[in-house]
């Protein structure tokens, strides 16, 4: 495939997480197409989505697989704070990292781009880049809601655990958006991942 034939990236964002939060929280990817993914290093450890395993955990388990789906990780302020609290400034050092925040210092890490402006404009610009890999988002309902218009694919992750209280998947105005189920994967742990792609015209 020549550079001129390289597709624009998709945007993937995490949608559902039925388990107490871990470090860091869910993820999303964006590149010429758009998707929403959840992040669980332990159900897919070094498997189909090795890049969704945080760098320090990859090192612990000896995961050296190259990125298969994503080369850019977008993070919300709250999700990134989980990494900072653990002493990490580059939780996904094996990818290009962006953090959306109006309060975080721009020099938090020389390899992390802190974006204080419009996240939608940033994502649209990134999606214009030519790349064989997509863009992933790790964030909570605020950033997921803001970027919903740009999300092409959702990955819902379900676990056989009932935790009780939680947060909505998307924060913001009531805006029905149609997606179609395209793939489901079940794990021996009882967890399952289901992919949904934005329906035509939505």
pLDDT: which is higher, 130 or 94:
94
Mean pLDDT of the chain: 78
pLDDT band at 23 (very low <50, low <70, confident <90, very high): very low
pTM, entire model: 0.77
Choose from 5-9, 26-30, 163-167 the range with maximum mean pLDDT: 163-167
Cis peptide before 24 (omega within 30 of 0): yes
| Exposed e or buried b per residue across 159-197, where buried means at least 16 C-beta atoms within 10 angstroms of its C-beta | beeeeeeeeebbeeeeeeeebeeeeeeeeeeebebbbbb
Structural domain boundaries of the chain? Answer: 3-198
Q: What is the pLDDT of residue 49?
A: 81
Closest CA to 77 of 98, 109, 101: 101
Any idea what DSSP says for residue 15? E
Q: Report pLDDT digits (tens) over 126-149.
A: 988 888 888 888 888 899 899 988
Any idea what DSSP says for residue 150? G
Q: What is the pLDDT of residue 120?
A: 93
Q: Is the pLDDT of residue 8 over 60?
A: no
Q: What is the pLDDT of residue 116?
A: 96
Residue with tokens 């969704």: 52
Q: Report pLDDT digits (tens) over 29-83.
A: 333 333 344 444 345 545 778 888 899 988 888 888 898 888 999 999 999 999 9
Q: What is the pLDDT of residue 98?
A: 96
Instruction: Provide the 10 A C-beta neighbour count for residue 200.
Output: 7
Q: What is the pLDDT of residue 121?
A: 95
For residues 181 and 194, is the Cβ–Cβ distance under 8 A?
A: yes
What is the fold, at CATH topology level, of the domain defined by 3-198?
A: Dihydrofolate Reductase, subunit A (3.40.430)
Report which secondary-structure segment, H or E, holds 115: strand 112-115
Q: Report pLDDT digits (tens) over 105-121.
A: 999 999 999 999 999 99
pLDDT band at 20 (very low <50, low <70, confident <90, very high): very low
């Amino acid at each position: 495939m020549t550079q001129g034939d390289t597709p624009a990236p998709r945007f993937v964002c995490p949608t559902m997480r039925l388990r107490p939060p871990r470090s860091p929280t869910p993820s999303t990817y964006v590149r010429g197409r758009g998707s929403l993914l959840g992040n669980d290093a332990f159900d897919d450890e070094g498997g189909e989505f090795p890049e969704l395993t945080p760098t320090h955990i990859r090192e612990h388990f000896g995961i050296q697989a190259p990125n298969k789906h994503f080369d850019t990780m977008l993070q919300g302020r709250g999700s990134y704070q989980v990494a900072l609290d653990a002493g990490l400034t580059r939780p996904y050092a094996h990818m290009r990292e962006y953090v959306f925040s109006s309060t975080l210092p721009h020099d938090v890490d020389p390899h992390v781009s802190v974006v204080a402006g419009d996240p939608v404009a940033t994502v649209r610009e990134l999606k214009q880049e030519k790349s064989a890999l997509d863009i992933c988002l790790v964030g909570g309902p605020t950033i997921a809601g803001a970027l919903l218009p740009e999300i092409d694919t959702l990955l819902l992750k379900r676990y056989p655990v009932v935790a009780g209280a939680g947060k909505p998947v998307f924060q913001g105005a009531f805006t029905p958006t149609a997606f179609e189920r395209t793939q489901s994967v079940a794990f021996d742990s009882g967890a399952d991942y289901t992919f949904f792609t934005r329906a035509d015209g939505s």
